[in-house]
Amino acid sequence: MWRFIGLHNQNGSLTNKLTLTMSCLAVGGVLTVGSSALLRERISFRKDLEQQAELLLDTLSAANSDALYFNKFDEAGEIINNLDKNSQSKRLIISARLYQKDGRVISDTFTEDYKVLSLQPDPLGQKILASQQLVLDWQDEKLIAGKPILVGEDVVGAVSIGFSTKPLQTELRQTLLEGLMAAVIIAIISILLARLLSRSITKPIQQLTTATKQISTGEWGQTINLQTNDELTTLSNAFNHMSGQLHNVVESLKLQTNELENSRQMAQTRANELEQTLGELRKTQEKLIQQEKMSSLGQMVAGVAHEINNPVTFIQGNVEPAQEYVADLLNLIELYQKHYPNPHAEILAEEDAIDLPFLKEDISKLLFSMSMGSERITAIVNSLKTFSRLDEALCKAVDLHVCLDSTLVILDHRLKGQGHRPTVEVIKDYGTLSAIECFAGQLNQVFMNLIANAIDAFEEPDPALELNSEKTSQRQIYICTSMTDNDHVLIQIRDNAGGMSVEVQSRIFDPFYTTKPVGKGTGLGLAISYQIITELHGGQLTCESIPGQGTEFLIEIPSSQPLAT
């Protein structure tokens, strides 16, 4: 019969052969349809059983509501008890219980004495009463359904029924058995069809697959020869042509790939070198710019200090004689008033015009203010000279306390309170230090950066400081110096501002990292300070900060440095 159909005819069409293979999909179709039917039947049975349960529960609730409402527990449960006597119901219903409103069982139909009147609440009854609606609980071979009994809006009890699902299981098993039998029959037919198809289609395809695998492993130029006159022969001819072309292309690609890999490696090496060089150049450029800024600033400050110092010296030199002259003139006026108590009318008029008593009292104050102002200017000029230090490239012995005090004088305008900004108190705890060898100009730059950052921390919004008015009025910067046992100098600069998070602490010494708004910080201050302390002075610069409490910077440098020659 198969020869009559022409399955073994090698000149037959591949379309006819593949048409037969599609029949094998029938097995999957039968299984799919059978599974769907089985699932629909199961869902339908469950839905019907749930509807029966809800209908029966509504009937039982209506029948027992009055008895439960009036606490007539002896009368309650009579209808439920009749369920046990109905043979059809008994086949499906395996349990029926009536509960009081506290969850205790009143009646259990499928027991010898259906009137139970239990003393302890039943968990299922409590669950039904708490749900205030229909409860459905599907278990392995049964369905437990329950519903509270209402009289108006009052819950007077509950009722539950258990249904057996064994009829469903029996029906599903029968359907499953029929489906399996159909699947087995179709599977046998499919195997026979597959064996027939393998003779005409599978063998050529296996040859094509084998050749393809050999090509995939690098054996280029593989060919296949088929003795058929169908579409597979056309496919094999196309495959042989493709294999030859692929062999040529692969050989060409190998040569190009080797050349590209060599070029890529060279380019990557050069790119890495260029990136490293650019990074170093960038850091060097920023450091040179910063150093040039500081050098220019130092020269400008020194020049301004010199120009200011000359007139201030002149003013200071003349204030003291002016005070003496004014004192002499005031004394002379008092003598005139004493010996000539009745001066001419023109003199009296002039005294009233110039308010002589006020003039005598105020002129001394003016001269004293001029003296104090000139002394303040002199102190600022001296601090600027100390801070600028045009010899900063040289390592010399200096007094660190003078450097710190000079920095504080320069920052004095930021420490004083203005408007709503409270004054920042500076507490100095200087130890006994001898002059140490250091690069004074650059060390002054470190002190300036650290103290200025502490002041900035107070000016940044801090909810903790705003809520604690007592802490707000005690803004303090603590500066302490001391010597260690290994002849090192310790400088502590601590503030009680808002502190920093752990993430910020881990990056504060990174170049270009800043938490300040755009235009208010470059992110280089602490990075340069770290380099000055660690590389230039061979010391250490560390930071400890607790959010909400404050920040402390600790500088440790040797008391002596290799002197530049």
Domain ranges of the chain: 14-187, 393-564
In this structure, CATH architecture of domain 393-564: 2-Layer Sandwich (3.30)
Higher pLDDT, 20 or 283: 283
What totals of helices (H) and strands (E) does the chain contain, helices first?
18, 12
CATH assignment, 14-187: 3.30.450.20
How confident is the model over 529-540, as a mean pLDDT?
A: 87
Where do the DSSP E strands lie in 496-530?
A: none
Tokens representing 180? 């399996």
Ranked by mean pLDDT, the top range of 46-55, 348-357, 441-450, 480-489 is 480-489
AA letter at 467 = L
Concatenating the DSSP letter of every residue in 372-415 gives: HHHHHHHHHHHHHHHHH-TTTTS-EEE-HHHHHHHHHHHTHHHH
Higher pLDDT, 436 or 561: 436
Q: What is the per-residue pLDDT for 305?
A: 67
**pLDDT tens, 267-285?**
888 888 888 888 778 777 7
Indicate the pLDDT class of residue 202, thresholds 50, 70 and 90.
low
How confident is the model over 115-119, as a mean pLDDT?
A: 63
Residue 111: pLDDT over 70: no
Higher pLDDT, 455 or 282: 455
Label the pairing between strands 425-429 and 476-483.
parallel
Residues 6+ apart with CB under 8 A from 127: 135, 146
**pLDDT tens, 151-193?**
888 888 888 888 887 777 777 777 778 777 877 787 677 767 7
Sheet holding 476-483, edge to edge: 425-429, 476-483, 488-495, 550-558, 540-546
Indicate the pLDDT class of residue 87, thresholds 50, 70 and 90.
very low
Q: What is the per-residue pLDDT for 564?
A: 45
Q: How far is CA 77 from CA 95, 98, 116, 164, in A?
A: 13, 7, 10, 21
Indicate the pLDDT class of residue 527, thresholds 50, 70 and 90.
confident
Indicate the pLDDT class of residue 371, thresholds 50, 70 and 90.
confident
Asked if residues 99 and 159 have their Cβ atoms less than 8 Å apart, the reply is yes
For residue 469, give the nearest of 420, 413, 520, 399 by alpha carbon: 420
AA letter at 122 = D
Residue 136: pLDDT over 60: yes
Residue 458 has, within 13 A of its CA and on its CB side, a CA count of 25
Q: What is the per-residue pLDDT for 469?
A: 45
For residue 406, give the nearest of 395, 396, 398, 394 by alpha carbon: 398
Residues 6+ apart with CB under 8 A from 482: 431, 433, 489, 490
Range scoring the smallest mean pLDDT among 31-45, 105-119, 157-171, 438-452: 105-119
Distance CA(356)–CA(414), nearest Å, equals 40
Ranked by mean pLDDT, the top range of 186-195, 322-331, 360-369, 540-549 is 540-549
Indicate the pLDDT class of residue 523, thresholds 50, 70 and 90.
low
